[in-house]
């Protein structure tokens, strides 16, 4: 996900970091920035879904399921909050947008019905799985120094895959207009990823 306008090594040269033990690396800062933004978006999606579903009757089981997934996202976000601070990464300027858009996506899909809410989870997690897989491969090629970050992302990736599988098992693919809904959500997530890496 490199921008085309950047020359290969420009901007990626190691700079001395304020934090001992880490050289600053723009590619890694982009990874941390986008993951931090993504986990924030995930928390907001679940908050949006839960705001609707808690107000509806007979949704106790679903609410509990979503609360469990939301808890995982809060843990992911808390860890990325720490990493952003430890490594002095500038957070995305788009946080206020993801604050609103994440919640709106969650609320809108929950209003469409239980299966649409699961379709939202499945679509988001599918994109995140791809995204994290790509990052793990890149970090693997960077050697031992970035192993802790690589392991954190891999651990989170496996949890996202679990969320996706749970959503599919709960009937995500039976949501009305599933291919259209899923395609639109995935496209929006991929766009959000590209924006949050750079901005
Ligand atoms: Fe997450
Ligand atoms: Fe997740």
Q: Classify residue 3: in a domain, yes or no.
A: no
- What's the gap in Å between 14 CA and the centre of ligand 2? 32
Find out whether 18 and 69 touch, Cβ atoms under 8 Å.
Answer: no
**Counting ligands in written order, which one lies closest to the CA of residue 153?**
1
Residues with Cβ–ion distance below 5 A, ligand 2: 160, 163
Q: Classify residue 13: in a domain, yes or no.
A: no
Q: What is the pLDDT along the chain (199 residues), one digit of tens a residue?
A: 344 444 444 444 444 444 555 556 889 999 999 999 999 999 999 999 999 999 988 889 899 999 999 999 999 999 999 999 999 999 999 999 999 999 999 999 999 999 999 999 999 999 999 999 999 999 999 888 899 999 999 999 999 999 999 999 999 999 989 999 999 999 999 999 999 988 9
Find out whether 33 and 90 touch, Cβ atoms under 8 Å.
Answer: yes
Q: What is the CATH number of the domain that holds 170?
A: 1.20.1260
Q: Classify residue 15: in a domain, yes or no.
A: no
Q: Which domain holds residue 161?
A: 22-198
Closest Cα to residue 13, out of 4, 21, 24, 22?
A: 24
Q: Classify residue 87: in a domain, yes or no.
A: yes
Q: Classify residue 10: in a domain, yes or no.
A: no
Whether pTM > 0.75 for this model: the answer is yes
Number of structural domains the chain divides into? 1
Q: Classify residue 2: in a domain, yes or no.
A: no
């Amino acid at each position: 996900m490199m921008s085309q306008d950047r020359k290969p090594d420009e901007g990626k040269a190691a700079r001395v970091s304020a934090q001992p033990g880490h050289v600053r690396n723009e590619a890694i800062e982009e990874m941390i920035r986008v993951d931090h933004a993504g986990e924030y978006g995930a928390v907001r999606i679940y908050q949006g879904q839960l705001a609707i579903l808690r107000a509806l009757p007979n949704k106790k089981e679903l609410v509990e399921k979503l609360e469990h997934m939301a808890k995982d996202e809060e843990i992911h976000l808390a860890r990325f909050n720490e990493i952003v601070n430890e490594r002095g990464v500038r957070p995305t300027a788009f946080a206020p947008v993801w604050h609103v858009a994440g919640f709106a996506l969650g609320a809108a899909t929950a209003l469409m019905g239980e299966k649409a809410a699961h379709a939202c989870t499945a679509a988001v997690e599918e994109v995140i799985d791809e995204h994290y897989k790509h990052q793990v491969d890149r970090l693997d090629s960077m050697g031992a120094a970035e192993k802790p970050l690589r392991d954190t992302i891999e651990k989170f990736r496996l949890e996202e895959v679990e969320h996706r599988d749970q959503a599919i098992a709960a009937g995500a693919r039976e949501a009305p207009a599933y291919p259209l809904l899923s395609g639109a959500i995935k496209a929006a997530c991929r766009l959000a990823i590209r924006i949050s890496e750079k901005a």
